[in-house]
Amino acid sequence: MKTMMARAVGLLRFLGCALFLGIGTTTAYANGADAGTGRVAMPPELARTIAAYDQATVDKDIDRLGALVKDNYVLVNSDMSVQNKQSYLEDFKVQGFRINQYTLSEPIQIVRADSALTGGFFQLSWVQDGRSLHRRTRIIHFWEKDAGQWRLAYTQLTRALDNG
């Protein structure tokens, strides 16, 4: 039987998962190539994968998310808890939890031939147990090209300090 604390931790983990997904982001995935750094322009297939991942998150599509996340996926939540792929996917089964759309600001996009770092700031707002909550957070995703397919390998969330 789950205790209230275990349920709260599970919901926080779910929140963290949803945060890293970039739900509703409106970032333009453009990144100029730079031969000196090894950076390349955002490949269209990576942009499509990110969009599919975002949609699967909004839809709580566990099967699709499972296909887009690597088997050794690691999520570091803003509460410093760490989840693996199985734990992350289990969070999407939580009832009564909803993340509202948000917009990514100050985007970070570093793309190389077989890996990419994407993220930025966002004001997360969500509904949990009938209450509306919000938090400013930075999210970073690390994507890897695996057997020709882009898949999410790592996500880290950091709670932003309030500036007044």
What's the CATH number where 108 sits? 3.10.450.50
The count of domains in the chain is 1
The 3-state DSSP composition of the chain as helix, strand, coil percent (nearest 5) reads: 30, 40, 30
More confident position, 7 or 160: 160
pLDDT at 143 over 50: yes
First to last CA, the chain: 41
- Domain span including residue 124: 4-159
pLDDT at 41 over 80: yes
Per-residue pLDDT tens over the stretch 92-128: 888 887 777 777 899 999 999 999 999 999 888 777 7
pLDDT at 46 over 60: yes
With respect to residue 140, please indicate whether it lies within any of the assigned structural domains: yes
